[in-house]
């Protein structure tokens, strides 16, 4: 039987590919037969990952998703080199914590720039390319996965910038899906709970761990490898009738909310 999650022939941009969830998604894309187009600020990390994946399986672009010029140039180059881009995982993200009443404006803006505007810049640049392909009668796969968070569904304490950006990502998914799903492009959100990466070191520390864990019905956190699988599911033809949805991957964290 053909594996419906096979990604052979798919060229997939993964932002924030240097570590954590983005690295795991990139590795799984390649394991499933696809080519990973790695985007990150951390050149040393994405270059090392590309070396590990092999030149036939990966490209590297070093820069910030918060720079629209870099994003458009990166997409143009990825299309010129590979002929087409079939998938985008909008994964790059940052955290800059402060209580709402104390949050400096630049701390607010930094997170909005990367976690919301950065997602839009990548979605727009890749979406334009996918629309052009559709117009030319090319019906090859086109799937965008936007990474959000439970913080976007239920708010968060001490990260109003992050919560607002992640709610905004869900809005981007719904609007883009309404505009583009009739043109062969699927757009979905994944909302993670707590995944063991550098980003969650503080909430997994002794001070917060038990309180957070008590809200997870499955009684454990996840790791990047486990959560990379539903991302690749949404990229693949196994999800061919799914668009405009928000899938929580969180051990049941949002049940009852
Ligand atoms: P991480 O901090 O381990 O990795 C983030 C990566 O994004 C890094 O490699 C970093 O260099 C890159 N990056 C940051 N700013 C960038 C920019 N402007 N341009 C390009 N690359 C940039 O984080 P992670 O835990 O792997 O998180 C990945 C995504 O998942 C983020 O969007 C995060 O908000 C989301 N998320 C994570 C969790 C979790 O529990 N870890 C939960 C919910 C949502």
- pLDDT tens for residues 90-141? 999 999 999 999 999 999 999 999 999 999 999 999 999 999 999 999 999 9
Q: Which of 121, 162, 241, 253 is catalytic?
A: 162
Task: Give the mutation target among 28, 43, 199 for probing the ligand 1 site: most ligand atoms within 8 A of CB.
Answer: 199
Ligand 1 within 6 A of CB of 228 = no
Stated pTM of the model: 0.98
Pair of tokens at residue 21: 């969830």
Ligand 1 atom with the smallest distance to the CA of 65 is 19
Ligand 1 within 6 A of CB of 21 = yes
pLDDT band (50, 70, 90) for residue 2: confident
Residue 94 Cα to ligand 1 midpoint, Å, equals 6
Residue 124 and residue 40: Cα distance in Å, rounded? Answer: 18
Whether 241 sits among the annotated catalytic residues: the reply is: no
What's the CA angle centered on 232, arms 229 and 237, to 5 degrees? 130
Q: What is the mean pLDDT of the chain?
A: 96
Flag whether pLDDT at 256 surpasses 70: no
The CATH number given to 11-248 is 3.40.50.720
* pLDDT > 90: percent of the chain: 96
Average pLDDT for 62-71: 98
Ligand 1 within 6 A of CB of 93 = yes
User: What does the pLDDT look like over 199-241, one tens digit per residue?
Assistant: 999 989 999 999 999 999 999 999 999 999 999 999 999 999 9
Q: Please tell me the residue having the least CA distance from ligand 1 atom 32.
A: 93
Ligand 1 within 6 A of CB of 66 = yes
**Cα Rg of the chain, angstroms:** 17
Name the 3-class secondary structure at 181.
Answer: helix
Axis crossing angle, helix 68-82 with helix 118-135, rounded to the nearest 10: 40
Question: Domain extents for the chain?
Answer: 11-248
């Amino acid at each position: 039987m053909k594996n419906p999650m096979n990604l052979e022939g798919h060229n997939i941009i993964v932002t924030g590919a240097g570590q954590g969830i983005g690295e795991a998604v990139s590795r799984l894309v390649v394991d499933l037969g696809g080519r990973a187009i790695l985007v990150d600020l951390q050149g040393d990390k994405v270059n090392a990952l590309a070396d590990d994946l092999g030149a036939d399986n990966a490209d590297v672009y070093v820069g910030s998703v918060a720079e629209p010029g870099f994003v458009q140039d990166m997409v143009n180059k990825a299309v010129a080199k590979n002929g087409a881009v079939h998938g985008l995982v909008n994964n790059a993200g940052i955290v800059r914590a402060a209580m709402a009443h104390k949050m400096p404006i630049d701390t607010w803006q930094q997170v909005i720039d990367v976690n919301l505007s950065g997602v839009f810049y990548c979605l727009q640049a890749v979406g334009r390319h996918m629309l052009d392909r559709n117009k030319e009668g090319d019906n090859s796969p086109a799937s965008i996965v936007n990474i959000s968070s439970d913080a976007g569904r239920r708010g968060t304490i001490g990260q109003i910038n992050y919560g607002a950006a992640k709610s905004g990502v869900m809005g981007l998914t719904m609007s883009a899906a309404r505009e583009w799903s009739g043109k062969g492009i699927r757009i979905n959100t994944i909302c993670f709970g707590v995944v063991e990466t550098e980003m969650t070191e503080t909430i997994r520390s002794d001070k917060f761990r038990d309180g957070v864990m008590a809200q997870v019905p499955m009684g454990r956190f996840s790791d990047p490898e486990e959560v990379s699988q539903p991302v690749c599911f949404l990229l693949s033809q196994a999800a061919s009738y799914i668009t405009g949805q928000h899938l929580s991957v969180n051990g049941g964290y949002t049940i009852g909310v």
